[in-house]
Chains A and B, each alone.
Chain A
């Protein structure tokens, strides 16, 4: 069961601000889903390998060949928060 503290912790990990009231709502909703997920526990899987990808493909590479970069103005076109060719954000901590 997820506690209020758990919700706060994962909210921090996921960088989503959660209000006091939302914490309780999330706790309930998330617990109902997790309870549903819990049904997997009844299935023994000790000897089963996980499937990350269905296709068993290995060694996909590109050659070390230079391709064109975007012009600086295009890079910055989707933000107003820029200065001297760089993205500008508030201080970090």
Chain B
């Protein structure tokens, strides 16, 4: 069996052999893994596959294995969010996207490593230690959905689910040389996904090619009455896979090529834009003056929402419980022990940003800046169909390189978080390499214009071969 298979190839293999055999093969690869991508391997995966073989299944993903980020609830599997505080917690219910996947016949291989509560861009804040980037085991895979990106890049799953709050799908996709989509806010239900920053995040797919992203979106997207922010849309994602971008108007926001950008990244992205030009598209530079404030706005909003979201981890109903002479002391000690340093920093900052006397200065201000950022995008996207920019200004960094300084770490999200602020759709596709490390091209579309985003990504893929490159170290 080939190590890297597309979903279509996996389905072919299942037909030739069995779902059980395919799942067993993935489990074997996971067993030999060098990247610490999974934090839990499901003991029910084989059983699930056997059941599909025995009973048959006509779902679009019958027997196809998938990896799930560890903040998406799967009934019966631990859901740790990369945190010690959730030690031993097993959700008694499935997230909406998991229900959809199971109904489609997918086999859940396990849960993947992530930055603690999705707070990070490297997986280094995970209680389970960092995952390795398959292209260079000394480097981080990006984050926070680093485990999902890494296992897809290493061939340990054909595709995976992540979640993207400020770049958490796209950043690791770029660093690991895979494709990752952040859908429009409201396109995919958040029910069962442990919240980091509610108004910003979405579940997003990661895969080795654009087609598999569309296949997965057709399964997981759609209205869910259990998520009040879910929005009805009739998008058919696979229908968008057309190798033709003639008359496409591309906007290139120069602010996304700011200081500190790696020259190879800049060049690779421009090469991609010129490639589109050669395929019949046109491009123009657009200006987005408020983008430079997006990162601060994003972090204030995310931390504020997070401080509140994470209040439920108090040792009372599940997970870690420390000893304390009374309930409040128990909670304070549990949270001190259970949360990692970066999570605590963000909770403290978020608490501060919402506290009496600072709410307007930080939280309200950030929401107003969010309006300005959104207006920049509205204006730019009224002139062009899509925006293109580097997903991250730099390729994957070394494990431990940035962990000590929160600000440099936050800068990894500089090109991705504005999209979350504005609630747009955006994809990262491989567009080159620098010193053997992948580079990601970010394609940004209007809300619910995933079809245009996917079509552009698909066309690029059909006319380049970056997505066929495999990391030598894990080959």
Contact = CB atoms under 8 A, between A and B. Distances in A.
Interface of A: 2, 6-7, 10-18, 26, 29-30, 32-34, 36-37, 39-41, 43, 45, 48-55, 57, 60, 62, 70, 74, 77-79, 81, 87, 89-93
Interface residues on B, range: 35 or more
Main secondary structure of the interface of A (DSSP, over half): loop
A72 to B, nearest CB: 12
In the A-B complex, the 8 residue pairs with the smallest Cβ-Cβ separation, listed nearest first, are: A54-B423, A50-B367, A78-B318, A45-B368, A17-B336, A17-B332, A60-B228, A48-B368
B475 interface: no
A81 B317 CA distance: 8
B259 to A, nearest CB: 15
B314 interface: yes
Contacts of B371: 48-51
B352 to A, nearest CB: 5
A43 B89 CA distance: 44
A12 B336 CA distance: 11
Contact of B349 (A18, A33, A52, A74): A33
Interface string B364-385: 1111111110100000000000
B345 A87 contact: no
A63 B325 CA distance: 44
A10 to B, nearest CB: 5
Contacts of A77: 90, 92
Interface of B: 88-90, 92, 185-186, 199, 225, 228-229, 231, 290, 293, 296-297, 299-300, 307, 311, 314, 316-319, 321, 324-333, 335-336, 339, 344-345, 347-349, 351-353, 355, 362, 364-372, 374, 406-407, 410, 421-423, 447
B347 to A, nearest CB: 5
A54 B260 CA distance: 30
Contacts of A30: 345, 348-349, 352
Given A33-B407, A40-B296, A92-B328, A45 B372 contact: yes
Nearest to A9: B355
Contact of B327 (A48, A60, A78, A90): A90
A50 B363 CA distance: 10
Contact of B332 (A10, A15, A37, A70): A15
Given A37-B300, A50-B364, A14 B369 contact: no
Given A14-B351, A50-B370, A54-B422, A78 B90 contact: yes
Contacts of B325: 90
Contact of B366 (A40, A55, A60, A78): A40
A88 B470 CA distance: 52
Given A10-B355, A62-B225, A16 B345 contact: no
Given A40-B369, A49-B371, A10 B328 contact: no
30 contacts: A2-B352, A6-B352, A10-B355, A14-B311, A15-B311, A15-B331, A15-B335, A16-B336, A17-B336, A30-B348, A33-B299, A33-B349, A33-B407, A37-B296, A37-B300, A37-B353, A40-B293, A40-B300, A49-B371, A50-B364, A51-B368, A51-B370, A53-B199, A54-B423, A55-B186, A78-B319, A87-B317, A90-B329, A92-B327, A93-B327
B89 A37 contact: no
Given A26-B348, A55-B185, A55-B231, A17 B368 contact: no
